[in-house]
Amino acid sequence: MRIVLLAMAAASVLAAGQASAAAIDLSKPYGDKYGCINKNGQEVAADKMLLLTDKELITAGSACTFSETKAGADGSLTIKAECEAEGEDGKSPATFTVKRSAKNAKKLSVVDEDGNVMGEVSRCR
């Protein structure tokens, strides 16, 4: 009986831990300074810009449209997309991960498939 109770307690702790990994909500846009300024279209030219919405990731030189989004157990999102780069013809596939910033819980980090941080973004106002 004691073993069963311990197993049930361990299972409930594990389930609570998984539930506490807050899912990332992209229903409102996230961006860096210039990404948020340009959230409604190109208003200001910027060499460096990052805008993340529920449908796309836009940088100063590319636009990626999401084709698949999967939530990870840790609350991160793995996103597959088709990207168009400025000055190039056609689209190319890309995969990147969106996760909570290690430095600031209110920010998100966008990481490319090679593990390089593309940038950190905050919820746009």
pLDDT digits 0-9 by tens, 79-110: 999 999 988 899 999 999 999 998 898 999 99
Q: How confident is the model at residue 8 (pLDDT cuts 50, 70, 90)?
A: very low
**10 belongs to a structural domain:** no
Q: What is the pLDDT of residue 21?
A: 54
Query: Tens digits of per-residue pLDDT, 17-41?
Result: 344 457 899 999 999 999 999 888 8
**36 belongs to a structural domain:** yes
Res 2 pLDDT > 80: no
Q: What is the pLDDT of residue 19?
A: 41
- Which of helix, strand or coil describes residue 73? coil
Q: How confident is the model at residue 47 (pLDDT cuts 50, 70, 90)?
A: confident
Q: Is 107 exposed, middle or buried (0-12, 13-18, 19+ CB in 10 A)?
A: middle
List of E strands, the chain:
30-31, 50-52, 56-59, 62-71, 77-85, 92-100, 108-112, 117-123
Domain that holds residue 106: 22-123
The mean of the pLDDT values for the chain is 83
Q: How confident is the model at residue 15 (pLDDT cuts 50, 70, 90)?
A: very low
Closest of 42, 57, 44, 26 to residue 124, by C-alpha: 26
Q: What is the pLDDT of residue 42?
A: 73
What is the C-alpha to C-alpha distance for residues 32 and 121, in angstroms, rounded to an integer? 5
Closest of 21, 33, 37, 32 to residue 99, by C-alpha: 21
- 10-14, 60-64, 74-78: which range is least confident on average? 10-14
Q: What is the pLDDT of residue 1?
A: 44
Tell me how many domains the chain contains.
Answer: 1
Identify the sign of the CA torsion 88, 93, 98, 102.
Answer: negative
66: domain CATH number is 2.40.128
